[in-house]
Amino acid sequence: MAQQKSLTQSNVSGWAFALPGFGLMVAFIILPFFFAIWFSLTNQRLISPNPPSFMGLSNYVDLLSIGTIVLEPERDATGAVIRDNAGDITYPRLRNFTRNNPDYPHLQGMREWFGWQTGPNDELRRVILAKDVVFMRALKNTFTFVIIVAPLQAGLALMLALLINQKLRGINVYRAIYFMPVVISIVVVAFLWRLIYDGNNGLLNNILGALSFGWFEPVDWLGQPSTALGSIIAMSIWQAVGFHMVIWLSGLQTISPTLYEAAELEGSSKWQTFRYVTWPGLRNTAVLILIVITMQAFGLFAQVDVMTNGGPLDSTQTIVFQAIERGYGKQDISGGSAISVILFLIVLSISMIQRYLTRERNT
Amino acid sequence: MNTLSHDNHGLRLFVRYLVLTLIAAIFVFPLVFMVMSSLKPSQQLLIDSGSLRAFLPVGDISLNNYTMAFDRAPVALFVANSLFITGTTVILSLFVCSLAGFSIAILSWRGKAFVLSAILATLTVPFETIAVPLLLMSSKLPWIGMDGLEVGWLNSYRVQIIPFIADGLTIFLFVQYFRDIPSDLVEAARAEGASWSQVYSKVLMPLSGPIIATAAILKFLVMYNQYLWPLMVVQEEGYRPVLVGLQYFFQLNTAWGEIMAYLSMITVPVLVFYLFLQRAFIASIASTGVKG
Amino acid sequence: MKHFKLTTGALLLSTALANSAFAATELAMWYHGAGNEVESAIINQIITDFNNSQSDYTIALESFPQGAYNDAVQAAALAGNLPDIIDVDGPVMPGWAWAGYIAPLPIDEAEFADFLPGTKGIWNGTLYSIGLWDAAVALYARQSTLDELGLRKPTLDAPWTKDEFMAALDAAKASGKYDYALDLGTAWTGEWFPYAFSPFLQSFGGDMIDRASYSTAEGALNGDAALEFGAWWQGLFTGGYAQATQDGADRDTGFNTSKYAFSWNGNWAAIPTLEQVNDVVFLPAPDLGNGSKIGAASWQFGVTTTSKHPDGAAAFIKFATQDKYLAAFSDGIGLIPSTASAAAMTKNYSSGGALEVFYGLSEAQALVRPVTPGYAVVAKVFEKALADIANGADVADTLDAAVDEIDADIAKNNGYSK
């Protein structure tokens, strides 16, 4: 790089070429985003006759506050732990502590997020409470989605790309077919899959039933907390994998055929060829794909909006869905903006980590 | 990649095509379902949707849903609007973003690191977040039109085009691609006295077929699927794009057949665009093939 | 662009026309009916009649699809681009009035003395909007089902009690003839939930918000009556009477194909049902302890604060509220006409008409949704709470959380006072 620098050094040309693009981005993305950051520090509403006022970080506090409490089991007169019919220990209801209890002002308005047994004989119960449980669930679901989708989608896309990179008659037709879901609006795709996932008379249940000769019990894919997010994940990968296949393909095409010829001459196996010729040639593509998938996965919204509305029982709440639900649905632009700023900070730190890791390997 | 081996390729070939075809079935079945459903009356469509009949043009097949969709909404207008907005944005975007990508990938200049970081950071901003500030801005932006200076961009094509010309992802695609181009090509051109504009237009762009195709598809999809923004800035039917038009079909007693017909119709232009690009894309790889 | 040329051409043409007919002032009007051909035809007819009836004003209509309408109006208001006349969904009206989108209706309220109460958009004692129709919800059933199951046919004066209603569901379930006893329409997310289900809560004696003060939901949405309602609501799903998630197709056709014994549905669905189910009867809501209740208020017309010609806008609204147009809408899309005299002119709501019962329901049981600018949030919170409870969430915790969210929103908006 260093010796090139003098050759390509040109402040005027550099800025001149970058300016149309960068200028438009400043005007139409960066500047409005600064407004959004400002909104998140106020009580700005979508609809209101009242002028907004500065609220400091209160929107963030409302979103992120958590608390904890240890619950003592209910005991009868003899001091023995009371158990319900199922044999489970009974505890006082949390609402006794979180609603207008002067002894627990820091828990006011909080709800249970999760908890576990603790103490001697596991009789105590530690509960983690959050002021905004729904947002916490949205965070967790979004991270789950990203962690599953990013490697799976990138891997499947690479496999498809290798498959489609063969020189076979009619391979273009297959390439076009694999790409087809990508060209259809995600709203349309989500709408179709809602019918396919239908619990009563859906295609998926019927196909699985037919394939298993009736052994398979119909599942209400989107109607159960245990399957809803998984169904959205599967559909999302199905929809987007073709696009990343094409990016991998363009990376594969840039690898010089002479390298493959050399590998063949040396008698390397298919795996060795992939490991030592193909994969190193795909490094920039891999970085690009991981970043793109991560960004897109963090933006998960349309599928949820069309298919589940965040339910059942918040099992498909996501960060962007919450941002939009709050900003537009509940007309609280300030709260929605705060969520977006949090998302921005999360993804920014992840991409910085990603870049740091990939940079280190390059040197 | 490794291609046909010398021996026993008959069976191998069959297995390859079988695998390819099975995968193809997974990708294509919802689309077949959509198109077949668009040919059926709503009642039959719903009954069929639970069985393999969903994939077959059986029963009371007709184009009635299409006729009725045209009666319900100005379908051709919506598609034309979307194609115009999308096409214009894609072309302008490819130009503006490849220029910026060129500048960042090839040239060295003061402030580049900052600009690149800022561009990458915008990738994480969901559009919905900036929609309201952008709306407030757009309603006050000036424009020089046929009647001289006007204020406000609402109810126009430009408000659906200009804010979307430059985006971080497209620029980043070009940056990553240009970085892979061997630097001796650029150096040789410079040594022969080429200006930077000539390096961009004569050396780099002719090599960029694949990435242009990829960026164009991505941009096309984003633009063709716009919903929230046109809803906010366009009140006149004359400027509405396809996804806002989709709302015309969600009425009480949903006309499922018409919805399927509309979905099929708005999907066709995108498929055509992709198939066209795929040909151009393959051709460009075949003709250049010098990278790496 | 072909279209572009077309609009320019149309623009030139219309300016030319406007110049020749120099006197008329153009008023812009927005309406939510795009995509509904019958509705569009009627509204266009009214506008044509109005434009021909006088020479001071011409109305120019822009139609939006219903699903996009509210967002479009809010965005236009933010951008300062509202037309002269808009239509507004009843429960949304206070929010738009509070935010200054719409002005008090410049028509004497006495003009609408004979209108159904649900059709008048009154907030803080002021009339802001007026509707050409109302909507009502009834329990759809077949007479043959009632006979087979040996059920008494409830009437307006003697609706089913809670026990009778549950016994009816039990009987339907026990008959084994139906997939589910009751179709609640959970497939219709959104405004359907508060519109259709909050009356159940009110019939238990609770409410979505304390209507005396409109400053808190505490006690109303999480008091004893509300907890009782929540347990009952959850029981409808855990008891296997109804589906917590339903697909839209079942909602559209399930009752007609005998998938369900009873269906909780609006009058707008009545005409298609009558065509397919000849012995359908429309039963009043059950009395769950505190009287039978159903929701009221549908789309209404109002004049924006930014209109430069409120008199012209008011003239149009007065013109549109004539009985013959109320009757036209009713005949066209099955809505309940706002006045008894218009009802008499319709084929369905006149004496002996197939849907006459709905007019009675609207008159006797209808209760408007909370009349507060905070309704948008109340509705969203209520919908989520009911969906969560239906899916098995703890009733008390869920309702507490809903109360907290509603109260926090009221606080954030300074109590929704101006």
Q: How confident is the model at residue A256 (pLDDT cuts 50, 70, 90)?
A: confident
- Percent of chain B predicted with pLDDT > 90: 52
**Interface A-C: count of C-beta contacts within 8 A:** 83
Q: Which residue has the higher pLDDT, C121 or A6?
A: C121
Q: How confident is the model at residue B283 (pLDDT cuts 50, 70, 90)?
A: low
Q: Where are the alpha helices (DSSP H) in C109-216?
A: 143-149, 162-175, 192-204
pLDDT confidence of residue B284: 54
- CB contacts of B196 in chain A (<8 Å) are 10, 13, 17
Residue C31 β-bridge partners: C63
Q: How far is C247 from chain A (nearest CA, A)?
A: 7
- Spell out a b/e string for A238-261, using b for 16 or more CB atoms within 10 Å of the CB, else e: bbbbbbbbbbbbbbbbbbeeebbe
Q: How far is B146 from chain A (nearest CA, A)?
A: 24
- Residue C242 predicted with pLDDT over 70: yes
What residue spans define the domains of chain B? 1-72+252-261, 74-249
**Which among C412, C408, C407 is positioned nearest to C214, based on CA atoms?**
C407
Mutate to test the interface with C, among A46, A47, A65, A100 (most CBs of C within 10 A): A47
Distance between CA C213 and CA A113 in Å, rounded? 32
- Spell out a b/e string for A211-222, using b for 16 or more CB atoms within 10 Å of the CB, else e: eeeeeeeebbbb
pTM of the model: 0.91
Q: What is the domain count for chain C?
A: 2
- CB contacts of A183 in chain B (<8 Å) are 217, 221, 267, 270-271, 273-274
Q: Give the other-Cβ count within 10 Å of A2's Cβ.
A: 5
Burial of B20 (0-12, 13-18, 19+ CB in 10 A): buried
Interchain contact, B157 vs C4, CB within 8 Å: yes
Residue C185 shares a structural domain with residue C270 = yes
Q: How far is C326 from chain B (nearest CA, A)?
A: 20
Q: What is the pLDDT of residues B71-125, one digit of tens each?
A: 999 999 999 999 999 999 999 999 999 999 999 999 999 999 999 989 988 887 8
Q: SS3 breakdown of chain A: % helix, strand, coil, rounded to 5? A: 65, 10, 30
- CB contacts of C253 in chain B (<8 Å) are 43, 46
* Alpha carbon separation from B62 to B29, B46, B239, C213, C221 (Å, rounded): 21, 16, 31, 58, 52
Interchain contact, C1 vs B256, CB within 8 Å: no
Q: How far is B127 from chain C (nearest CA, A)?
A: 15
CATH code for the domain in which residue C89 is found = 3.40.190.10
pLDDT confidence of residue B281: 65
Nearest CA in chain B to C74: B232
- Both tokens of A336, joined, read 């929605």
- Residue C11 predicted with pLDDT over 60: no
- Spell out a b/e string for B201-234, using b for 16 or more CB atoms within 10 Å of the CB, else e: eebbbebbbbbbbbbbbbbbbbbbbbbbbbbbbb
Q: Does B138 touch chain C (CB under 8 A)?
A: yes
Residue C301 β-bridge partners: C87, C130
DSSP B201: I
Nearest CA in chain A to C394: A313
Q: How confident is the model at residue C9 (pLDDT cuts 50, 70, 90)?
A: very low
Q: How far is A299 from chain B (nearest CA, A)?
A: 7
* Under 8 Å between Cβ of A280 and A259: no
Domain range enclosing C241: 137-292+374-416
pLDDT confidence of residue C3: 43
- CA distance from start to end of chain A: 12
The three-class DSSP label of residue B81 is helix
Distance between CA C393 and CA C399 in Å, rounded? 10
List all residues of chain B from 207 to 226 with a beta carbon under 8 Å from chain C.
none
Q: What is the pLDDT of residues A177-219, one digit of tens each?
A: 898 898 888 888 998 898 889 887 788 888 888 888 878 888 9
Where are the domain boundaries for CATH 1.10.3720.10 in chain A?
A: 134-362
* Alpha carbon separation from C397 to A99, B86, C207, C230 (Å, rounded): 11, 48, 17, 11
Partner-chain residue, chosen from C74, C391, C401, that has the shortest CB–CB distance to A313 = C391
H or E stretch at B181:
none
C10 in a structural domain: no
- Residue B50 predicted with pLDDT over 80: no
Mutate to test the interface with C, among B83, B136, B247, B258 (most CBs of C within 10 A): B247
Nearest CA in chain B to C32: B248
Residue C97 shares a structural domain with residue C150 = no
Got the DSSP string for C256-315?
TTTSEEEEEEEGGGHHHHHHH-TTEEEEPPPB-SS---EEE--EEEEEETT-S-HHHHHH
Q: How far is C123 from chain A (nearest CA, A)?
A: 16
**Which among C197, A210, A236, A42 is positioned nearest to B132, based on CA atoms?**
A42
Q: How far is B103 from chain A (nearest CA, A)?
A: 5
Partner-chain residue, chosen from C1, C3, C75, that has the shortest CB–CB distance to B231 = C75
Distance between CA A308 and CA A306 in Å, rounded? 6
Nearest CA in chain C to B78: C3
Q: How far is B290 from chain C (nearest CA, A)?
A: 39
Using alpha carbons only, how large is chain A's radius of gyration in Å? 27
- Both tokens of A85, joined, read 């019919």
Nearest CA in chain B to A259: B292
Q: Where are the alpha helices (DSSP H) in chain B?
A: 9-37, 42-48, 64-72, 75-106, 112-122, 127-138, 158-161, 168-180, 183-191, 196-198, 209-224, 228-233, 242-246, 256-287
Cα A257 versus chain centre, distance:
37
Q: Which residue has the higher pLDDT, B2 or C215?
A: C215
- Both tokens of A45, joined, read 């509403």
Partner-chain residue, chosen from A14, A32, A284, that has the shortest CB–CB distance to B176 = A284
Torsion (CA) B34, B39, B42, B43 in degrees, nearest 10: -110
Interchain contact, B253 vs C269, CB within 8 Å: yes
Q: What is the pLDDT of residues A234-253, one digit of tens each?
A: 999 999 999 899 888 878 87
Nearest CA in chain A to C189: A309
The 3-class secondary structure across C359-418, one letter per residue, is: HHHHHHHEEECCCCCCHHHHHHHHHHHHHHHHCCCCHHHHHHHHHHHHHHHHHHCHHHCC
**Which among B197, B171, B175 is positioned nearest to B186, based on CA atoms?**
B197
The three-class DSSP label of residue B125 is coil
Q: How confident is the model at residue B285 (pLDDT cuts 50, 70, 90)?
A: low
Instruction: Report phi then psi at C280, rounded to 5.
Output: -65, 140
pLDDT confidence of residue C393: 95
Q: What is the pLDDT of residues A117-126, one digit of tens each?
A: 998 888 899 9
Q: Which of A55-64, B154-163, C9-18 has the lowest mean pLDDT?
A: C9-18
**Chain A neighbours, 3+ Cβ pairs < 8 A:** B, C
Q: How far is C203 from chain A (nearest CA, A)?
A: 26
Q: How confident is the model at residue B1 (pLDDT cuts 50, 70, 90)?
A: very low
* Alpha carbon separation from A223 to A26, A116, A230, C397 (Å, rounded): 43, 27, 12, 21
- Both tokens of C227, joined, read 């907890």
For chain C, the average pLDDT equals 92
Q: How confident is the model at residue A2 (pLDDT cuts 50, 70, 90)?
A: very low
- Residue B288 predicted with pLDDT over 50: no
Distance between CA A302 and CA C382 in Å, rounded? 23
Q: How confident is the model at residue C300 (pLDDT cuts 50, 70, 90)?
A: very high
Distance between CA C318 and CA C312 in Å, rounded? 10
Q: Does C37 touch chain B (CB under 8 A)?
A: yes
Q: Does B46 touch chain C (CB under 8 A)?
A: yes
Looking at residue B165, its amino acid is I
Burial of B185 (0-12, 13-18, 19+ CB in 10 A): middle
Mutate to test the interface with A, among C89, C221, C247 (most CBs of A within 10 A): C247
Interchain contact, B120 vs A270, CB within 8 Å: no
In this structure, which CATH number among 3.40.47.10, 3.40.640.10, 1.10.4190.10, 1.10.3720.10 belongs to the domain B74-249? 1.10.3720.10
Looking at residue C135, its amino acid is A
What interhelical angle do B75-106 and C2-20 show, nearest 10?
120
Q: Does C3 touch chain B (CB under 8 A)?
A: yes
For the domain made up of A134-362, the CATH class stated in words is mainly alpha
C142 in a structural domain: yes
The three-class DSSP label of residue B63 is coil
Partner-chain residue, chosen from C3, C76, C268, that has the shortest CB–CB distance to B77 = C3
Angle among Cα B102, B107, B112 to the nearest 5 degrees reads 95
pLDDT confidence of residue C7: 46
* Under 8 Å between Cβ of C132 and C43: no
- CB contacts of C249 in chain A (<8 Å) are 201
* Alpha carbon separation from C353 to B69, C271, C322, C350 (Å, rounded): 33, 12, 21, 5
Partner-chain residue, chosen from A46, A48, A311, that has the shortest CB–CB distance to C387 = A311
Q: How confident is the model at residue A3 (pLDDT cuts 50, 70, 90)?
A: very low
**Chain C neighbours, 3+ Cβ pairs < 8 A:** A, B
* Under 8 Å between Cβ of C96 and C326: no
Residue C126 shares a structural domain with residue C57 = yes
- Both tokens of A355, joined, read 């870049």
Size of chain C, expressed as the number of residues it contains:
418
Q: What is the pLDDT of residues A124-149, one digit of tens each?
A: 999 999 999 999 999 999 999 999 99
List all residues of chain C from 337 to 396 with a beta carbon under 8 Å from chain A.
373, 376-377, 380, 384, 387-388, 391-393, 396
Q: Which of B40-54, C162-176, C322-336 has the lowest mean pLDDT?
A: B40-54
DSSP A224: S
Interchain contact, B124 vs A184, CB within 8 Å: no
Interchain contact, B27 vs A201, CB within 8 Å: no
Mutate to test the interface with B, among A177, A187, A188 (most CBs of B within 10 A): A188
Distance between CA A313 and CA C394 in Å, rounded? 11
Interchain contact, A288 vs B176, CB within 8 Å: yes
**Which among C155, C166, C130, C154 is positioned nearest to C339, based on CA atoms?**
C130
Interchain contact, B238 vs C66, CB within 8 Å: no
Partner-chain residue, chosen from B1, B172, B190, that has the shortest CB–CB distance to A166 = B1
Size of chain B, expressed as the number of residues it contains:
292
Q: How far is B129 from chain A (nearest CA, A)?
A: 6
For chain B, the average pLDDT equals 87
Nearest CA in chain B to A9: B108
Q: What is the pLDDT of residues C188-214, one digit of tens each?
A: 988 999 999 999 999 999 999 999 999
Q: Does C412 touch chain A (CB under 8 A)?
A: yes
- Both tokens of A360, joined, read 């280190």
Q: How far is B130 from chain A (nearest CA, A)?
A: 5
Distance between CA A312 and CA A197 in Å, rounded? 14
Q: What is the pLDDT of residues C340-380, one digit of tens each?
A: 999 999 999 999 998 999 999 999 999 999 999 999 999 99
Partner-chain residue, chosen from C99, C400, C414, that has the shortest CB–CB distance to A47 = C99
Distance between CA C80 and CA C102 in Å, rounded? 13
Q: How far is C178 from chain A (nearest CA, A)?
A: 14
Q: Does A305 touch chain C (CB under 8 A)?
A: no
ipTM confidence = 0.89
For chain A, the average pLDDT equals 89
Distance between CA B205 and CA C222 in Å, rounded? 66
* Alpha carbon separation from B151 to A235, B147, B231, C79 (Å, rounded): 44, 11, 20, 12
- What is the phi-psi region of residue C299: left when phi exceeds 0, alpha when psi lies from -120 to 50, beta otherwise? beta
